[in-house]
Structure 1
Amino acid sequence: MVGEVRGVNRAQLGAALRALRQASGKEAKSVARSAVMSASKLSKIETAKVAPSAADVERILTAIGVSDEVKAEYLEAVRAATTEATAWRLVRRMGVHKAQQQTRALEAQMTLLRLFQPALIPGLLQTPEYIRTILSRHDLGEDVLARTISARIERQQALYDATKELHFVITEPVLRWRIVSAVRMAEQMDSLASLSRLPNIDIRIVPLSARQQDVASHAFVIRDDRTVTVETVHAEMIVTDPRDVALYVHKFDGFASMALSGDAMRALLEGIRDDFLREQEIS
């Protein structure tokens, strides 16, 4: 059956998704709502007016309730296009808060996450003040900003789901990058230390003192060894070819192997926190 699905084009894929939905007896509005997209977008996907991403197809199939076997077959078909890119201007047009909701839907389905971040505290680990400062730079407008902050905070519920295994590798300069005030940065360090004690979370820090064997060129997120999300200046890219995903897994493992973890990692966080607190006292 995999061979039958692999060669589908956009029209065939759209028709197949529509047939699966109709066979399930579920209405388009219900499937669209569960897939975190508009009914209009679902209609355009089903009628081949819009090319769905792998994430779109996965959310639709999950909402329909197909078997894991059927889902795997159709995802293999859509991954024939190995890399998808969505410009940030299109994300803003859609609504940044909706993008956060879509990411939350992906995170709800995954069981293993590996995230490498050389620039910012990962969104799932950010304190509310850190989140507000980061998102405020996008000129969203107060209403959209509030909804986007709320959506990101809601995503953090995944941290407390014992069925998920979450691994974070952060470079030390991220912890010293002055995103918020010194006292707020100190709070962020304490939050990271606290979260690192959760049994399903592994937070590691690549120290500046470590001899580097690789280049921390950009952030990326690996979900279930199946997809990689890469954020660039102009767009977000989704990588799905297994050969490319394996490259990112190898890169992640390399940085994780030289990073501090456990008590050593928390000792580094404590030292950085104390530096921020001393700076606050002096000022």
Structure 2
Amino acid sequence: MKKSGLGPALRELRESSGLEAKAVARSAVMSRSKLSKIENGKTAPSVTDVDCILTAIGVSDEVKGEYMAAVGEATTEVTAWRLVRRLGYSRKQEQVKALESQTTLLRLFQHSLVPGLLQTPEYVRAVFAGKGLTEAQLERTVGVRLARQSILYSEEKAFRFIITESVLRWRIVPPLVMAGQLDRLISVSRLPGVDIGIVGLSAAQTEFPGHSFSIKDERTVTVEMIHAETVMTDPRDIALYVAKFERFSGVAVSGDDMRTLIAAIRDELFREQETV
């Protein structure tokens, strides 16, 4: 399938499924007019657009792979954060939620923040507080991000998080609030489908963080940079990120050792407050 014929092909796929355009647009977290422009070939769909549309239609993995290969001809797609702000952070969170619902294995490396799926309400609010949102927009964004976390309890999915120790010490919230966030990590780490690894500051390193990234199955890699979000679909690029993730995993502590490390940092925060 050529990328130029992707829109009409998506329309045929939707029509053969018996789903109305408005239902697919709603599930794909886009306007009805945007879906129409994509289906009529007037707007080139992004990797995320196609993934969300196929998820909304409910196609098989084989069909999804064919369509994603077509949209991934360019292999790398960059979306500036200013466009995300225009879309709305809460809408972006809905979009991410839709993609996560169709991901069997999510691998995420973070060296700057606690991953969104693991954040407490207070931490989420702190992350978005400086983005110029109104109180109503902030509440919607916080609510949607927290709603995403229900997927952690799915028995059909697996989540692997690698976090650097510096994330646990980064003071974007007050000490007692951060202590609550660390307790949240300990609690979530006991879920059957969740594996959390911590790369300690004292661990000997041959790797360098560079930037945070997430890998959805073997389908896409998403990298968050200062100015934009980059999505890659080339299998060669995905393999590089998988290998980097595994190298970090090899020096990370997990299980009881990980929980002991987090608890020690949490207790440091408590002691700090006692001396204030």
Q: Fold conserved (TM > 0.5)?
A: yes
Contact between 2:117 and 2:149, CA under 8 Å: does it hold in 1?
A: yes
Give the whole-Å Cα distance in 2 for the aligned partners of 1:44 and 1:278: 58
Instruction: Say which of 109, 117, 122 aligns to 2:110.
Output: 117
Give the 3-state SS of the residue equivalent to 2:74 in structure 1: coil
Aligned to 2:186: 193
Give the whole-Å Cα distance in 2 for the aligned partners of 1:20 and 1:194: 42
**Cα distance, 1:52 vs. partner?**
1.1
Contact between 2:3 and 2:73, CA under 8 Å: does it hold in 1?
A: no
Give the whole-Å Cα distance in 2 for the aligned partners of 1:269 and 1:61: 39
Give the whole-Å Cα distance in 1 for the aligned partners of 2:153 and 2:236: 31
**Cα distance, 1:249 vs. partner?**
0.2
- Residue 9 of structure 1 aligns with an amino acid whose one-letter code is K
Counterparts of 1:112-151 in structure 2 under 5 Å? 112-151=105-144
- Residue 236 of structure 2 aligns with an amino acid whose one-letter code is R
Give the 3-state SS of the residue equivalent to 1:79 in structure 2: helix
**Cα distance, 1:73 vs. partner?**
1.3
Contact between 2:211 and 2:225, CA under 8 Å: does it hold in 1?
A: yes
Give the whole-Å Cα distance in 2 for the aligned partners of 1:181 and 1:62: 39
Give the 3-state SS of the residue equivalent to 1:129 in structure 2: helix
Aligned to 1:99: 92
Provide the TM-score with structure 1 as the length reference. 0.95
RMSD: 1.1
Aligned to 1:252: 245
**Cα distance, 1:234 vs. partner?**
0.4
Among all aligned residue pairs of Structure 1 and Structure 2, give the percentage whose two residues are the same amino acid.
60
Deviations 1:112-153 (A, max 9, x none): 010000001001001110000111111111111110000000
Q: Are positions 1:177 and 2:193 aligned together?
A: no
**Cα distance, 1:199 vs. partner?**
1.2
Instruction: Say which of 233, 237, 241 aligns to 2:234.
Output: 241
Aligned to 2:205: 212
User: Which contiguous aligned blocks of 4+ residues in structure 1 show a shift greater than 6 angstroms?
Assistant: none
Consecutive unaligned residues in structure 2, runs of 5 or more: none
Aligned to 1:57: 50
Contact between 2:55 and 2:99, CA under 8 Å: does it hold in 1?
A: no
**Cα distance, 1:15 vs. partner?**
1.2
Structure 1 window deviating more from structure 2 (40-49 vs 146-155): it is: 40-49
Deviations 1:186-232 (A, max 9, x none): 11111111111111110010001111101111100001021111000
Q: Are positions 1:9 and 2:3 aligned together?
A: yes
Give the 3-state SS of the residue equivalent to 2:78 in structure 1: strand
**Cα distance, 1:69 vs. partner?**
2.6
Give the whole-Å Cα distance in 2 for the aligned partners of 1:216 and 1:65: 36
Deviations 1:37-85 (A, max 9, x none): 1111101111222221222112212322334332221111111110111
**Cα distance, 1:174 vs. partner?**
0.6
Give the 3-state SS of the residue equivalent to 2:129 in structure 1: helix
Consecutive unaligned residues in structure 1, runs of 5 or more: none
- Residue 186 of structure 1 aligns with an amino acid whose one-letter code is A
**Cα distance, 1:35 vs. partner?**
1.3
Aligned to 1:22: 15
Give the whole-Å Cα distance in 2 for the aligned partners of 1:195 and 1:219: 20
Give the whole-Å Cα distance in 2 for the aligned partners of 1:266 and 1:69: 39
Give the whole-Å Cα distance in 2 for the aligned partners of 1:68 and 1:271: 43
